[in-house]
Amino acid sequence: MERNQEDKRWSFQQEIRNLFAASLKSSFPEFEQTPVIYASQKGQHGDYNCQNVLRIWPQIRKSLGQQKYAHIKKPADVGEVIKNNLPKSSMIAGEASILDVGFVAISLSRKWLIKENTFVSLLKFRAQVHRITTNSCQDINELKKASEITLESSEDGTEWDERVLEFHLLEFTEVLKDSCLFVLPHVLCEYIYNLSKKFTCYYSGVCKV
């Protein structure tokens, strides 16, 4: 009974995998593909990218003579097909992009993140309030006039630290599940250690004097 309840818990990473799984099934149904998803590194496009082109392109290259793949000439074309077949979702902000090697990168919507995770919402709201009070020199009258709170980009990398912390928090359910299911307590310890480092980066950036 407990195992069934565990399986029904919301999973952040599974949401992303389901999105690309639907596209892969529609794009290349003859190739049974498990989505290969990785978090984008700082400076790269998007928040997450799908790297299934590394598995699909070698198989398609063997069949380039077939009319079915006449429109696919290079790895980037594989990524384009996957991108075009991505189902519409409130998860994605803007449009997916194609990297040179054919990886499909997506950026997650801020509205979706806030809707799906209350703690992320509170964390973001706290950062937004802090910035407003700092920029307005703690003028309470300016706060009363504010009708909308927006998160502005910062040149010091604070916004990136927020996003890294958000995604790390959303992975807690899966980390806890793996730690208990496979009896690997060190996985949870490593997660908490990395969480403390990410929060320190975020907090030190927001609370600069």
Cα 19 to Cα 22: distance, rounded to the nearest angstrom: 6
Q: What is the reported pLDDT for 90?
A: 87
Q: Is the pLDDT of residue 83 over 80?
A: yes
Residue-wise pLDDT tens digits, 149-192? 344 444 555 567 777 887 888 788 788 888 888 888 888 888 88
Residue 51 vs residue 5, higher pLDDT: 51
Q: What is the reported pLDDT for 2?
A: 46
Identify each DSSP E strand in the chain by its residue range: 37-39, 48-50, 97-98, 104-106
**Residues 79 and 129: beta-carbon distance below 8 Å:** no
Residue 164 tokens, joined: 């890294």
Average pLDDT along the chain: 76
Q: What is the reported pLDDT for 185?
A: 85
Q: Is the pLDDT of residue 133 over 70?
A: no
What domains are there in the chain, each with its CATH number?
Answer: 8-108 (3.30.1360.70), 111-206 (no CATH)
